[in-house]
Structure 1
Amino acid sequence: MSIPIDIREQSGIRTLHFGSEWIQGAMRIARPWSLELNYTKEMMASLLLRRESHFPRKVLLIGLGAASLTKFLYRNYPLAKLTVVEIEPAVIAAARQFFKLPEDPKRLKIVIEDGAEYILKSKQTYDLILVDGFDAYARAGVLETLQFYQVVRAHLNKYGIMAANLLGRERGFKKTVERIHQAFDGRVLILPACDSGNAIAFAVSGEPISTSIDDLKEQAETLKRKTGLNLKATLARLEYAQNYSGGILEI
Structure 2
Amino acid sequence: MKAGANAAARARRTPQALPEVTISEDSEVRFLHLGTEWIQGSMLLDAPFDIELDYVQRMMAWLLFVEPDSVARRRALQLGLGSAALTKFCFKKLRMDTTAIEINPQVLAVCRQWFKLPADGPRLRVLLADAGEEIRSADHVGAYDALQVDLYDHEAAAPVLDSPDFYADCRTALTDDGCLTVNLFGRDASYERSLQGICAAFGADAVWAFKPTREGNTVVLAQRTSNRPTRMALLARAEAVQARWGLPAVKWLKLFKPVS
TM superposition score normalised by structure 1? 0.90
> Pairwise CA RMSD of aligned residues?
1.7
Task: Determine if contact 1:81/1:108 at 8 Å carries over to the other structure.
Answer: yes
Q: 2:185 is matched with which residue? A: 167
Identical columns (%) = 34
Per-residue CA deviations over 1:161-184 (Å, capped at 9, x if unaligned) read: 100111112221111111111111
Q: Distance in 2 between matches of 1:48 and 1:77?
A: 14
Q: 1:39 is matched with which residue? A: 55
Q: 2:248 is matched with which residue? A: 230
Q: 1:77 is matched with which residue? A: 94
Correspondence list, 1:196-215, <5 A: 196-206=215-225, 208-215=226-233
Label 1:75 to 1:199 Cα distance change in 2 as closer, same or farther (>3 A): same
Q: Secondary structure at the match of 2:176?
A: strand
Task: Determine if contact 2:102/2:127 at 8 Å carries over to the other structure.
Answer: yes
Q: Which amino acid aligns with 1:24?
A: Q
Q: 1:246 is matched with which residue? A: none
- How far apart are 1:53 and its partner, in Å? 4.1
Equivalent in 105, 119, 131 of residue 89 of structure 1: 105
The runs of 4+ residues in structure 1 deviating greater than 3 Å are 139-142
Q: Which runs of 5+ in 2 are unaligned?
A: 1-15
Q: Which runs of 5+ in 1 are unaligned?
A: 244-251
Q: 2:6 is matched with which residue? A: none
Q: Which amino acid aligns with 2:221?
A: F
Q: Secondary structure at the match of 1:143?
A: coil
Q: Which amino acid aligns with 1:82?
A: T
Q: Secondary structure at the match of 1:85?
A: strand
Equivalent in 108, 130, 133 of residue 114 of structure 1: 130
Aligned length: 240
- How far apart are 1:235 and its partner, in Å? 1.3
Q: Distance in 1 between matches of 2:81 and 2:160?
A: 16
Label 1:119 to 1:133 Cα distance change in 2 as closer, same or farther (>3 A): same
Per-residue CA deviations over 1:33-85 (Å, capped at 9, x if unaligned) read: 1110000111111111223743461111100010001111111222x211100
Q: Which amino acid aligns with 1:68?
A: A
193-202 or 211-220, larger mean C-alpha shift:
211-220
Correspondence list, 1:41-190, <5 A: 41-51=57-67, 53-55=69-71, 57-78=74-95, 80-124=96-140, 125=142, 126-186=144-204, 187-190=206-209
Q: Which amino acid aligns with 1:113?
A: A
Q: 1:191 is matched with which residue? A: 210
Q: Secondary structure at the match of 1:123?
A: helix
Q: Distance in 1 between matches of 2:256 and 2:216?
A: 16
- How far apart are 1:233 and its partner, in Å? 2.1
Per-residue CA deviations over 1:64-118 (Å, capped at 9, x if unaligned) read: 010001111111222x211100000000001011110011421101100011100
Q: Which amino acid aligns with 2:39?
A: I
Q: 2:31 is matched with which residue? A: 15
Label 1:150 to 1:205 Cα distance change in 2 as closer, same or farther (>3 A): same
Task: Determine if contact 1:50/1:209 at 8 Å carries over to the other structure.
Answer: no
TM superposition score normalised by structure 2? 0.87
Q: Distance in 2 between matches of 1:111 and 1:171?
A: 32
